[in-house]
């Protein structure tokens, strides 16, 4: 087939040819899973370091934030 890239062993690449950073994907997934667990236990809006409330604006910009910067 013309225009379809051949499979290559190693780092997966999407159709546009940029390698996928699997370590970054795994890190992002871990952050989402942690955020979901924090939602379940009621600590999502609480800074893990200080115990202070994490501002809504911070969580809107970074939904996986775990502490006040």
Q: What is the pTM of this model?
A: 0.68
pLDDT band at 18 (very low <50, low <70, confident <90, very high): confident
Say if residues 44 and 35 touch (Cβ distance below 8 Å). yes
- Please state the domain extents for the chain: 44-69
| 36-47 residue pLDDT tens | 999 999 999 999
H helical segments located in the chain: 22-41, 56-61
Q: Is residue 66 pLDDT above 60, yes or no? A: yes
């Amino acid at each position: 087939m013309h225009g379809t890239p051949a499979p290559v062993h190693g780092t997966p690449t999407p159709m546009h040819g940029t390698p996928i950073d699997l370590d970054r994907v795994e890190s992002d997934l871990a952050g989402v899973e942690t955020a979901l667990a924090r939602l379940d236990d009621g600590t999502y809006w609480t800074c893990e370091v200080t115990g202070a409330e994490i501002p809504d604006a911070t969580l809107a910009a970074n939904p996986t934030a775990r502490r006040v910067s």
